[in-house]
Structure 1
């Protein structure tokens, strides 16, 4: 799936749908992991994730760095469901190494889920997800933190970045706790 990182106001690392699987983590530098390969003529395009940093207190009590170590995510634009809405599908293998910048402790998060993302002109997004994605939460129905969210669920991201995760089968794993 596309990057499993959800960022502030529905963007990850400063780009819309930055890595559909990495949600809400921070600003991304210009460099990224090598792009994935998509079959010619398939309509799928590489959707590489960039490394990112989040300051202490924004998601975890300590500063965090994330960097893709496996990134084979591809995306495909689909017909829009309504005027002013873009719809993008994401899929592919994605593993993000999340590091506590104070101690060096790290966790390799497999966030290779699949997502269908509707992005609105207001900055809001609505994700339909199957499998794991990386979600950074500042405000929402999960406590401030950084999570691998897995299962069959939706993520509603308001224009201000508030995230609501809902669904019949949702599991969360706190990455902050894993690398504290």
Structure 2
């Protein structure tokens, strides 16, 4: 029953957005403007949602310090609902995103394709509920999730529930996880 609910949430996310992830779109879709850049071919209401570079100290996700930086960032978002104060409540995201994750000690890096499609419910208490189809990058601290401490590409059909304290619970209907720390160690 739980897998059915997760699958339905992810299908609903895709249906709400009216498109498959840009990374899954074929040449015909790309020529029509899907995934051709943040401003090209956007339906009304979609806006660029760029990702910033980030750094994580040794021991927080991997045993070594990590730097992440988008090398392709065509992610767009659409606000579907707002809180009474005007802050976004329900937001859809789609588009190509490749993040270069680098071990700052060795210089080894991995280009993570995290071009998933998601609908995120930003709750009033600061928690978030993600309904996801495709890959996203998920960092988990020690004891702060149902995955071990690490940095993962989580791919498939799943939900991600992030509590107001930051605890991350991934519930898979179907999918896989790739440990990025292992790839750049």
Quick check: TM above 0.5? Answer: yes
Q: Which structure has the highest helix share of the two? A: 2
Q: In the alignment, is residue 97 of structure 1 matched against residue 100 of structure 2? A: yes
Q: Is the 8 A contact 1:38 1:45 kept in 2?
A: no
RMSD, aligned CA: 1.7
Q: Give the 3-state SS of the residue equivalent to 1:177 in structure 2.
A: helix
Name structure 2 gaps, 5 residues minimum: 1-36
- Of 146, 158, 161 in structure 2, the residue corresponding to residue 156 of structure 1 is 161
Following superposition, the deviation at residue 165 of structure 1 comes to 0.1
Match of 1:57 in 2: 59
Find the aligned partners of 2:180 and 2:42 in 1 and give their Cα distance: 36
Show structure 1 runs of 4+ deviating over 2 A: 38-41, 82-85
| Structure 2 CA distance for aligned equivalents of residues 61 and 111 of structure 1 | 22
Structure 1 residue 122 displacement after superposition: 1.2
Query: Is the aligned partner of 1:132 residue 2:109?
Result: no
Give 1:146 shift: 0.1
Residue 123 of structure 1 aligns to a residue whose secondary structure is coil
In the TM superposition, what are the counterparts of 1:13-24 in structure 2 within 5 Å? none
Residues 59 and 122 (structure 1 numbering): CA distance in 2 closer, same or farther, change over 3 Å? same
Segments of structure 1 that go 5 or more residues without pairing to the other structure are: 1-34
Q: TM-score, normalised by structure 2?
A: 0.74
Aligned with 1:155: secondary structure? strand
Task: Confirm whether residue 79 of structure 1 aligns to residue 81 of structure 2.
Answer: yes
CA drift at 1:40: 5.7
Q: TM-score, normalised by structure 1?
A: 0.76
TM-superposition CA deviations, 1:48-96 (whole Å, max 9, x none): 001000000000000000000000000000025x768700000000000
Q: Partners of 1:72 and 1:178 in 2: how far apart? A: 25
| Secondary structure of the corresponding residue to residue 176 of structure 1 | helix
Q: 1:112 pairs with 112, 115, 122, which one? A: 115
**Which piece of structure 1 moves more, 167-176 or 153-162?**
167-176
Distance in 2, matches of 1:40 and 1:109, equals 25
Supply the distance in 2 between the matched residues of 1:169 and 1:83 (Cα, whole angstroms).
Answer: 35
Indicate if the aligned counterparts of 1:145 and 1:174 stay in contact, CA closer than 8 A: yes
1:141 aligns with 2:152: no
